[in-house]
Amino acid sequence: MKQFLAFVIKEFHHILRDRRTILILLIMPIIQIILFGFAVTTEVKNVRVSILDHSKDDITQNIIQQINANEYLSISEYIYTTDEIDEIFRKNKTDLVLIFSDHFDNDLRHSGQASVQIIADGTDPNMATMYVTYLTNILLSAQQNLNSGKILSGKFSIQPVVKLLASVAPATRVLYNPQMKSSYNFVPGIMGLIFILICAMMTSISIVREKETGTMEVLLVSPVKPIFIIFAKMIPYFALSCINLTSILLLSVYVLDVPITGNVFSLIFISLLFIIVSLSLGLLISTVTQTQVAAMLASGMVLIMPIMVLSGMMFPIESMPHILQTISCILPARWYIISIKKIMIEGLSIFMVWKEVCILFSMGIILIIISLKKFNNRLE
């Protein structure tokens, strides 16, 4: 036991004296969680709206004021002819153009109908759809105010006119993420990415480095069994991953305002299980690679990229082709991210994620058995 602890302490010393390793293990996760939490976002902010108001009446001015008062939209400029629309889009001066029809007020009063046109830049269709949705919601809000007589023209109230849309207005309620913050989606994903990066990549590189420098043979002739030597190299990365787990959860709650609505101990238990699976994956990579560069490429290109694309971290799994959905099933990060979202965001108990826990546990057992078998075969 003393010899085993000596190997663990040796590995800790080896990690702590390498500044680059410390930078990767402790500093980079903090940078990643802050970067994904603030910089990488799908939220709509600072949408520039240009106005072409042919009518220039009190109602259109009121709608424009509502747009300008919105925290997500702002009036970038007023244009006066349709010929200017192409020019301002080409010069990237606007994101949307809102066009009010001629005699907008009169059309509403007499016929009960008035038209508005929204023009968006479709080079990024996803963002264009979101921009149009936000502006449409403001127009719907203005319509409701109009129908209830809340829009003031001068000192008197405009009476309700025929509704622009159907009279039944749906009441929308968003569960678990009322403010629609993208950090609620990215935090579980970045947790899975960080643990794979630290546990799988760093563990595989550490073991391969011993083989590459020839010190693995020296370690194997010691009285300690080879399996305990491998575990001794994995334990420091397990401990450092626990530190990262703590820092990520603290940053999520106190910096990114992502609450932990479920049981913290359930969250920690599943995270520790995923860390063990990641360590086992790193051990497997170390048995099939001969150099540190090969281990890094195998961990980076074969693991990290598929995790970002196929685990549901950035793109919904349900929207992927069936073949990619099938491939994503073999990624441990997919099941970890799903379970973390259910516990951390939705507040479910660990019994509601028993399927994901069983899959991660099975993956860990299989990876450990395969890794140890291949490692023993190489020793023979």
Render pLDDT for 99-132 as a digit per residue (tens, 0 to 9): 888 877 777 777 667 778 888 877 777 778 888 8
Which of the four pLDDT bands, split at 50, 70 and 90, describes residue 274?
Answer: very high
Residue 137 in this model has a pLDDT that exceeds 80: yes
Q: What per-residue confidence (pLDDT) applies to 216?
A: 67
Q: For the segment 255-266, what is each residue's pLDDT rounded down to a tens digit?
A: 888 888 889 999
pLDDT tens profile 364-376: 999 888 887 877 6
CATH of domain 47-157: 3.40.1710.10
pLDDT value of position 269: 95
pLDDT at 42: 62
- 74 — phi, psi (to 5°)? -150, 145
More confident residue, 367 or 140: 367
How does pLDDT run across 13-44, given as a tens digit for each residue?
A: 878 887 777 777 788 888 888 877 776 666 67
Q: What's the pLDDT at 118? A: 85
The answer on pLDDT for 162 being more than 60 is no
The whole-number pLDDT of residue 172 equals 55
In the predicted model, what is the mean pLDDT of residues 324-341? 92
Choice among 252-256, 273-277, 326-330 with the minimum mean pLDDT: 252-256
Contact 15/240 with Cβ under 8 angstroms?
yes
The domain locations on the chain are 2-40+181-379, 47-157
**pLDDT per residue over 165-198, tens digit each?**
333 344 555 667 777 677 787 888 888 888 887 8
Q: What is the pTM of this model?
A: 0.75
Query: What confidence score (pLDDT) does residue 148 get?
Result: 63
Q: What is the 3-state secondary structure (H, E, C) of the chain?
A: CHHHHHHHHHHHHHHHCCHHHHHHHHHHHHHHHHHHHHHCCCCCCCEEEEEEECCCCHHHHHHHHHHHHCCCEEEEEEECCCHHHHHHHHCCCCCEEEEECCCHHHHHHHCCCCCEEEEECCCCHHHHHHHHHHHHHHHHHHHHHHHCCCCEECCEECCCCCCCCCCCCCCCCCCCCCCCCCHHHHHHHHHHHHHHHHHHHHHHHHHHHHHHHCHHHHHHCCCCCHHHHHHHHHHHHHHHHHHHHHHHHHHHHHCCCCCCCCCHHHHHHHHHHHHHHHHHHHHHHHHHCCCHHHHHHHHHHHHHHHHHHHCCCCCCHHHCCHHHHHHHCCCHHHHHHHHHHHHHHCCCCHHHHHHHHHHHHHHHHHHHHHHHHHHHHHHC
pLDDT higher at 304 or 362 = 362
pLDDT tens digits, one per residue of 80-96: 888 888 888 888 888 88
